[in-house]
Amino acid sequence: MDELQHECGIAAVYHVKADRVSELVPFDDMRSTSRLMPRMLLDMQNRGQLAAGITTWDPDRSQLIDTHKDVGAVAEVFRMNHPEQFRRLMEEYAGRAGIGHVRYATCGSDDRSYAQPFERHHIARSKWFSFVFNGQLANYQDLRQDILETTDFHLARETDTEILNHLISRKLSDSPGISGIEILSELAAELDGAWNLAFLNANGDMFVSRDPKGIRPLCYAVQGPLFAAASESVALTHLGFRDDAIRNVPPGHAVLIDDRNGVRLEQYAEAEDPAHCFFEWIYFANAASSFDNAGVYLSRKRLGEKLAAQEQVPIDRDTIVVPVPDTAKAAADSMAFQLGVPSLEGLLRNRYIGRTFIEGSGRAEKVRMKYTALPEVLEDKRVLLVDDSIVRATTLKELLKLLRRVGRAREIHVRIACPPIIAPCFYGIDMSTVEELFAAAWIQGPKLSSEDEQRMAEAIGADSLRYLPVDALSDCVGLPQNHLCRACVTGCYPTPAGEKQYQVARNRRGNGGRTYDVQ
């Protein structure tokens, strides 16, 4: 896997009634409910390691809502390895409600000003708010141009999060007393793409919402007086919520929370055919999560079964299956079981090398630092190497060299638990140009042929290469084909701006830069 990155994950928590005790909050003071936020963000660290942050609300402090955020992993941002510093942070930002975010950037810079939440100060409590955002606006450039040309607003950052900040601020200023549902309804008429939100203002009004296509996952749970929501269901499970209490926010719906009315689910946009990103199940989501009635681990298990069913390489006592750590392991184990051969970790990943430490190194050096090939497992073996996907193929090429040179594998047959990625993503995955996609340059006809796969195998240094068929995705995920976004493997986009961006990407081939940066 070529270090493909997802934009972010969001979380929210609210102790609705101050006079009721929640068995899920292990603190005496209900103002410390916000201390649950770092734990939830840790469970979503897989969705972004660039920055993290929280905003909390406490009606009894002068700073009604307050934000702490910084560049770094969750443990770094909240000083979790320094107990006294962590304790002081949690005391300073104690509150009955909070929203949180982990970030990886698909657009914008890496500095602290891009970290979320985005807080907007105002002397009116209803207009003093903070929010977090998961996704990407496919019509970002159009929205940005409209703001700069038709208003007195100024944009200081190259990010769609600031676009949302301006749009929400404008609605609060233009329509005093506007409700959360009304804000979302108006946004739905303007936005195209993936845009899950968690919003909190100085009155203690909160909402969490999912875009009308449901492209990114969002789960919530209510147990007693405690409400929580997160991009990963495992974050709610680890808080102690019962499985039957965890729900999916339906596309085009929002959960609204406050002390006056409690928790309620409301629809803000007309129902559309959902377009859930299939990559969530194949790669991005925590294997322990489940959303939209489809479990991540079992989906990956079925990927391996499909790969085994199409295997044509001779199987003998020297054949082994080896996963590329870590997300391909479930598929590899399942494939090996079906074929009746061992699934062995012939390739180990160093999980303690951080992103900053390896920055600036060449690709080969990065691979050597992050992966170790085990010759005692690989030597003289016919290796079926299972990976979750191929995007740019740069890391995979170096891995294959490592397996041959250090591992001394006799044959390496690459098996990919995903169809060929031939088109960019404009909904929150860091791949926005056609030219960076390995498979797009090799597939000659409307369908992938065995000749195409063999040419690609030779290009990456493998003895053979087999992809998962596009038609297998629905069965593996466990959702109808028309409920999945498969744009990156079909070139068919679920929204108009996504389709427009794809045409721009194809026309700009060879010009460099990300499609949504310059048009």
Distance in angstroms (rounded) separating the CA atoms of residues 102 and 2: 20
Helix 363-370 vs helix 394-405: angle between axes, to the nearest 10 degrees?
60
Using a 10 angstrom Cβ sphere, with 0-12 exposed, 13-18 middle and 19 or more buried, the burial of residue 480 is: exposed
For the chain, what's the residue count?
519
Distance in angstroms (rounded) separating the CA atoms of residues 334 and 338: 6
Contact 320, 381 (CB under 8 A): yes
CA dist 258 to 2, 97, 180, 200, Å?
43, 10, 11, 10
Collapsing DSSP to helix, strand or coil, 468 comes out as: coil
Contact 268, 185 (CB under 8 A): yes
Q: Where are the beta strands (DSSP E) in 1-63?
A: 8-15, 51-57
Residues forming the active site: 8
According to DSSP, the residues that pair with 248 across neighbouring strands are 219
Residue in 195, 188, 53 with CA at minimum distance from that of residue 130: 53
